[in-house]
């Protein structure tokens, strides 16, 4: 794709345009053309061949892939709403919230791409690689015909190829029920985490709303602060979209052993303020009240599609609809990471995955397809993990990994002290597997099992005496 020059010359227009132009006087020439073309000097970005909108994991890994192909220097611009270079967002709830005396994570320690063992891409790294970074200026509009972007500050940006990597925003409770009260927090970026830490330093009673990834990780961090902590959620058990009831019961017991109170099947009526206007209590639909001076809301996320709705959305899974090379319906525009609704080839369905592993892999696949002869479609194996209670002095650090699809019946092996495994089996095939506290070798086996989907002998698996034996039975099934 042609790089757009900083200067305006006649060669940028087609011959027919030139033919019409020569009929005009020199003064009317430029006034006429200016109505149809934006003078290059008006653009606020110097690097215009490739533009990435978004400053999260996907943007950082895409930048690295551009560099690896020698196509970043003077060609790539990244536009971010944050004041920081792309960073490993999972660190915010897994390490950033640790108490100050327990070695919490801080920038620049977790800039992309250290999460996958790569080079730390600090702001200086982007400068050295010739990548233009525009900070704290979210994109507010797009002109597809003119291939331009408008930003909140009024900048006009030009792009040849556009990659949308805007990720998600936290789902919020409505203002009318107290969702914006002082003391109520959402966590999606460093600013959110910094604000929450200031509250935790003074907090006495904390309520975490939501029993998913964010809720579990934040509650575990609060234990490190030795705070009176309660998790409330409307579902029947923790992480209901993945955990089985039996598996969830093990984790719930662990949290309760650490002093966390768990309130299941609870729906919020409103968050109430005290006389000072600060959060004081959470009122539930059943009429009960929980005292709290700090609340963290972790009730999900929404793909950040604005202002790119015209590019084409997916009504089933949300987000921007793309194909197996992350191309949208508009030539020259791509979408990656959390915001992309893509074909999940392994299971023959459309999906949108909110996870760092997909953010990394989708970015790399998209850019490789864009810059090279790679034509293979994205073949993603769903992968989720969490780490909790990892702070210094914790009596037990917890880390589980899941690969595959959680469909079919389940077989659970192990006693959770210290290890447990859950196998999902559908029509005799192993479809998904989760292991808690596995060894590195065991974790490396999981994606092999989930992708190959071997036929397994359920009776043999059920009789396994340990997680190690069960994994060996499953591993042997691959070769049969």
Give strand pairing partners of 333: 162
Distance CA 76, CA 106 (A): 27
Q: What is the rounded radius of gyration, in angstroms, for the C-alpha atoms of the chain?
A: 25
Q: Report the half-sphere exposure of 271 (CA within 13 A, side-chain side).
A: 27
- Residue 22's pLDDT band (cuts 50, 70, 90): very low
What lies within 8 Å, CB to CB, of 73 at 6+ separation is 129, 130, 131
Q: What is the value of pTM for the model shown?
A: 0.90
323: closest CA among 294, 344, 308, 339? 344
Distance CA 81, CA 192 (A): 13
Distance CA 83, CA 318 (A): 27
What lies within 8 Å, CB to CB, of 275 at 6+ separation is none
Distance CA 86, CA 151 (A): 19
* Cα 379–Cα 382–Cα 386 angle in degrees, nearest 5: 145
Provide the pLDDT for residue 480: 56
Tell me the average pLDDT across 24-50. 61
Tell me the average pLDDT across 184-204. 97
Per-chain mean pLDDT for the chain: 91
Provide the pLDDT for residue 35: 43
Identify the residue with better confidence: 229 or 395: 229
Does 361 have pLDDT greater than 70?
Answer: yes
Contact 213, 221 (CB under 8 A): no
Look at 36-40, 134-138, 144-148 and tell me which has the smallest mean pLDDT.
36-40
Does 21 have pLDDT greater than 50?
Answer: no
Contact 135, 306 (CB under 8 A): no
Tell me the average pLDDT across 99-121. 94
Provide the pLDDT for residue 417: 86
Does 192 have pLDDT greater than 90?
Answer: yes
Provide the pLDDT for residue 2: 34
Provide the pLDDT for residue 40: 52
Does 117 have pLDDT greater than 60?
Answer: yes
Tens-place pLDDT, residues 76-97: 999 999 999 999 999 999 999 9
Provide the pLDDT for residue 65: 98
Tens-place pLDDT, residues 457-478: 999 999 999 999 999 999 999 9
Biggest distance spanned by C-alpha atoms of the chain: 90
Q: What percent of the chain has pLDDT over 70?
A: 91
Tell me the average pLDDT across 268-277. 97
Tens-place pLDDT, residues 400-426: 999 999 999 999 999 998 899 999 999
Tell me the average pLDDT across 358-380. 96
């Amino acid at each position: 794709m042609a790089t757009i020059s900083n200067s305006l010359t006649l060669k940028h227009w087609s011959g027919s345009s030139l033919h019409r132009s020569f009929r005009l006087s020199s003064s009317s020439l430029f006034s006429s053309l200016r109505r149809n073309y934006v003078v290059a000097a008006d653009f606020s970005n110097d690097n215009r061949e490739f533009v990435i909108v978004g400053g999260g994991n996907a943007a950082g890994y895409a930048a690295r892939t551009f560099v690896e192909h020698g196509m970043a220097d003077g060609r790539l611009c990244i536009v971010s709403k944050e004041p920081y270079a792309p960073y490993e967002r999972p660190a915010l709830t897994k390490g950033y919230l640790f108490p100050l005396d327990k070695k919490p994570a801080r920038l620049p320690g977790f800039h992309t791409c250290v999460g996958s063992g790569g080079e730390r891409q600090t702001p200086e790294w982007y400068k050295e690689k010739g990548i233009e970074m525009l900070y704290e200026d979210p994109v507010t509009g797009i002109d597809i015909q003119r291939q331009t972007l408008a930003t909140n500050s009024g900048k006009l940006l030009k792009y040849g190829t556009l990659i949308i990597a805007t990720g998600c925003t936290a789902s919020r409770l409505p203002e009318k029920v107290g969702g914006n009260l002082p003391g109520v927090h959402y966590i999606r970026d460093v600013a959110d985490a910094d604000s929450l830490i200031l509250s935790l330093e003074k907090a006495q009673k904390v309520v975490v709303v939501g029993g998913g990834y964010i809720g579990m990780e934040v509650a575990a961090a609060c234990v490190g602060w030795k705070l009176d902590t309660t998790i409330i959620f409307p579902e029947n058990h923790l992480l209901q979209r993945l955990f089985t009831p039996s598996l969830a019961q093990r984790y719930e017991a662990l949290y309760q052993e650490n002093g966390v109170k768990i309130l299941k099947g609870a729906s919020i009526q409103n968050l109430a303020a005290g006389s000072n206007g600060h959060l004081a209590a959470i009122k539930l639909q059943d009429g009960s009240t929980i005292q709290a001076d700090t609340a963290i809301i972790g009730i999900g996320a929404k793909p950040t599609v604005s202002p790119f709705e015209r590019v084409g959305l997916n009504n089933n899974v949300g987000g921007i609809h793309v194909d197996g090379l992350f191309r949208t319906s508009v030539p020259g525009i791509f979408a990656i990471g959390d915001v992309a609704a893509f074909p999940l080839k392994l299971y023959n369905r459309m999906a949108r995955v909110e996870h760092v592993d997909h953010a990394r892999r989708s970015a790399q696949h998209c850019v490789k397809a864009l810059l090279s002869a790679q034509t293979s479609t994205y073949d993603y194996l769903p992968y989720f993990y969490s780490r909790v209670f990892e702070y210094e002095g914790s009596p037990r650090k917890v880390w589980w990994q899941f690969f595959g699809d959680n469909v079919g019946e389940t077989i659970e092996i192990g006693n959770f002290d210290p290890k447990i495994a859950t196998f999902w089996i559908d029509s005799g095939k192993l479809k998904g597997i989760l292991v808690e506290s596995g060894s590195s070798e065991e974790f490396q086996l999981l994606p092999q099992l989930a992708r190959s989907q071997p036929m397994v002998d359920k009776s043999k698996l059920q009789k396994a005496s340990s997680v190690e034996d069960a994994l060996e039975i499953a591993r042997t099934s691959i070769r049969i």
